[in-house]
Amino acid sequence: MSYNLNIVKFFMSNCLLVCALIFITTGCSDDEVLSIPEAPQFVPKSSDTAKYSQGIRPISNSKGIYLEWYQNNENDLAGYNLYKTTQFTIAGSGDTIPVNFNLLKKIPLGSEESDTSYQDLDVDQFNRCFYRLTAYSKSGGESTPSTKSPNYLVKSYPILEEPTGQFQIPANKKLTFKWSNDPSAAGTYTVKIYTQDDDSGNFDIVARAIIDNTGFAGADSVTFDFNSLNASIDGNRNITVYKLLEADSFGVIYNWYVFYSESTIDLLTGSISESAFSLIN
């Protein structure tokens, strides 16, 4: 009887061991349970000479910062986590290293006007903002952070002065755009005039000027010659007219803005101010 009991005990103990081994070898690991997306990537900031702005930039007429990134392609992608910090340390190489990121916004797919961009309106113009982005899956897995942490410091200038409102096209078809600025600022001013389609939201650039203000302070106006399509370089001013201004009885709205970017290498610093005008016959 004891002999049979020992056989039963031996069988049961080995059966439990076999079952445990089967569970360990066939059970799901954390990596298999959680789908981990690829690290998302921010859209690089466009150059000052680009027709249209992309990437990190200040928001017109606000102290906000606009960010955009590329869409991840995972089938089970659920959304993105956007992190922010204003704290940083300086490494021995002189590099700025952001630290102590906090979650700024969880952005589920389809829940925002855009799930590949964000407007951060909670910005102190005296603090440089650093951003980091991750993607997360429906199963709860979170990617490693974006390979770059874009940063921006928004300043209060420039402030637009003219033109605004409605007015006739000048007889000489030349328009001067004027703004006030920080007289101590040294950097680049980008002036753009454009129209925007109300239905599609698409922009149509009319004219652009790049003014290199590195060598002196006080750039505060630029004149466009709308007699013909043209491109010219006048000293530190690179001016291009892409489309002629023509009076329109339906009141086309022309938007214009001045974008300031500081000359400090690798530190994105600047501001943007925007206004609008329309022409009458």
What CATH number does the domain located at 159-280 have? 2.60.40
With cut-offs at 50, 70 and 90, classify the pLDDT of residue 32. Answer: low
Asked if the 57-154 domain carries CATH number 2.30.38.10, the reply is no
Distance CA 61, CA 129 (A): 18
Pairing of strands 165-168, 269-280: parallel
Q: Do domains 57-154 and 159-280 have the same CATH topology?
A: yes
Predicted confidence at residue 103, as pLDDT, reads 96
CA distances for 48 relative to 55, 57, 69, 232, 281, angstroms:
12, 11, 19, 16, 34
Instruction: Report how far apart the first and last C-alpha atoms of the chain are (Å, whole number).
Output: 114
What percentage of the chain carries pLDDT values higher than 90? Answer: 30
Distance CA 134, CA 144 (A): 6
Where along the chain do its domains lie?
57-154, 159-280
Residue 143 exposed, middle or buried by CB count within 10 Å (0-12, 13-18, 19+): buried
Q: What is the pLDDT of residues 114-149, one digit of tens each?
A: 889 999 998 887 788 999 999 999 988 999 999 888
**Which residue from 16, 18, 122 is spatially nearest to 63, judged by alpha carbons?**
122
Can you name the residues that pair with 175 across neighbouring β-strands?
A: 224
Predicted confidence at residue 77, as pLDDT, reads 93
Residue 11 has pLDDT above 60, yes or no: no
Q: What is the pLDDT of residues 199-221, one digit of tens each?
A: 777 788 999 998 887 655 557 88
Taken in order 57, 58, 60, 66, is the CA torsion positive or negative?
Answer: positive
**How remote is the C-alpha of 189 from its chain's centroid?**
19
Predicted confidence at residue 41, as pLDDT, reads 94
Predicted confidence at residue 246, as pLDDT, reads 79
Q: What is the pLDDT of residues 236-265, one digit of tens each?
A: 888 999 999 877 656 788 999 888 887 665
Pairing of strands 65-68, 96-99: unpaired
Task: Report residue 213: phi and psi, to 5°.
Answer: -110, 20
In single-letter form, the type of residue at position 248 comes to: D
Q: What is the DSSP letter of 150?
A: -
Q: What is the pLDDT of residues 63-105, one digit of tens each?
A: 789 999 999 998 999 999 999 999 888 777 767 788 899 999 9
Q: Which residue has the higher pLDDT, 226 or 159?
A: 226
- C-beta atoms surrounding 69 within 10 Å: 23
